[in-house]
Amino acid sequence: MNNEFNLQDYLANGVEIIIKDALRASIKNPKEILFLRRFSKHTRKANEIRQKYDENGQNIPAFLIASITSSCNLHCTGCYSRANKACSDDAPLNQLSGDEWGDIFNEAKDLGISFIVLAGGEPMIREDVIVKASNYPEILFPIFTNGTMFDNDYLKLFDKNRNLVPILSIEGDEQVTDSRRGEGVYSKLVDSMELMKKNNIIFGASLTFTKGNLSTLVSDEYIKKLHDFGCKVIFFIEYVPVNGETIELAPSDNERDLLFNEINRLRKEYDDMLFLSFPGDEKTSGGCLAAGRGFFHINSHGGAEPCPASPYSDINVNDTSLLEALNSKLFKSLRDGGLLMDDHEGGCVLFEHEAEVKKLLDS
């Protein structure tokens, strides 16, 4: 690893850029600007907290991914959560309660974590958890949703609590989206976007890109369509193979380079939108940011995992603290062993080195 790379500085600068771009994208939305200015103060305080931990040899990531439910109302083709048996139609009984998630959010705030992605399953099934999240304005909660469960109660909740930002998963046009997510889903997504635009609620879109569809997703034609719908935030999410048969769809360095260039172009041309990528450019971030280097994942049962695409855990936050989870044997082995900085063809390094991850888990 390059000794000149400083992870804390990288993450702190990234947070500042996100807030600056979000303020620009919200220029005509007084409620959003007021929240973001307050949130900016919170993130500076959070960065100071993380910096103090860093001075004592403990890295605290700025980002956490929380899969608050393993239930989902859709059966999307190629869903890695269902492929990993982390998602089903019916919720198991041993999922974390709303109060338990509230405790996690509170501890995350005290550690200086500024962003918690709410995922699933379908997170909007768990209104109780989302209401808990609304009580933490120090943390921004992007909610990655399939967009089929919006109602007036949720609209009121999002309007009142600007730290809750719906991010709608969409695959492309109507034909592509419905072919993967089910007939009529695209129409429901459009209805949800129109409702939020009408009510002046900031929302975003999550675009899963593969080796074959990236050029379409970054095209002016498609971005303008989302812009006209009222979308203000776009996440470009790298496709992670569900098995070896779909690995040819995983983005390579060529696609990552293309995305890097196109995002810079889009940021200039659409200055009222915010463009982000996940997991981002590993070359500029000193390797994969999973396992607590830049983020980590908590599943619906409380298991602390390196990331959603690497669903392996040796510790549960129901039995321990977030800080102890970040120092789990698995996380420390991944961070210290050099695996996260290893080269890989596409998808993600932990997917390609699944056998090594399992070996660490069993050692």
Q: For 357, list phi and psi in degrees, rounded to 5.
A: -65, -45
How far is it, in rounded angstroms, from Cα 230 to Cα 199? 11
Amino acid at 218: V
Quickly state the pLDDT bin for 360 (edges 50, 70, 90): confident
Is 90 exceeded by the pLDDT of residue 55?
A: yes
How far is it, in rounded angstroms, from Cα 40 to Cα 314? 35
How far is it, in rounded angstroms, from Cα 309 to Cα 353? 12
How far is it, in rounded angstroms, from Cα 72 to Cα 120? 7
Sketch the domain layout of the chain as residue ranges.
7-362
CATH class of 7-362: alpha beta
In three-state secondary structure terms, 182 is coil
Give the model confidence (pLDDT) of 219-260 as tens digits: 999 999 999 999 999 999 888 776 666 677 778 888 888 998
pTM over 0.85? The answer is yes
* pLDDT (0 to 100) of residue 80: 63
Average of per-residue pLDDT across 169-178: 84
Quickly state the pLDDT bin for 282 (edges 50, 70, 90): low
How far is it, in rounded angstroms, from Cα 91 to Cα 85? 12
Partners of 143 in beta bridges: 118, 166
How far is it, in rounded angstroms, from Cα 63 to Cα 46? 11
Give the model confidence (pLDDT) of 112-131 as tens digits: 999 999 998 899 999 999 99
* pLDDT (0 to 100) of residue 2: 44
- H-type alpha helices, 56-126: 80-83, 98-111
CA distances from 343 to 63, 79, 282, 286, 330 (A): 23, 25, 10, 12, 20
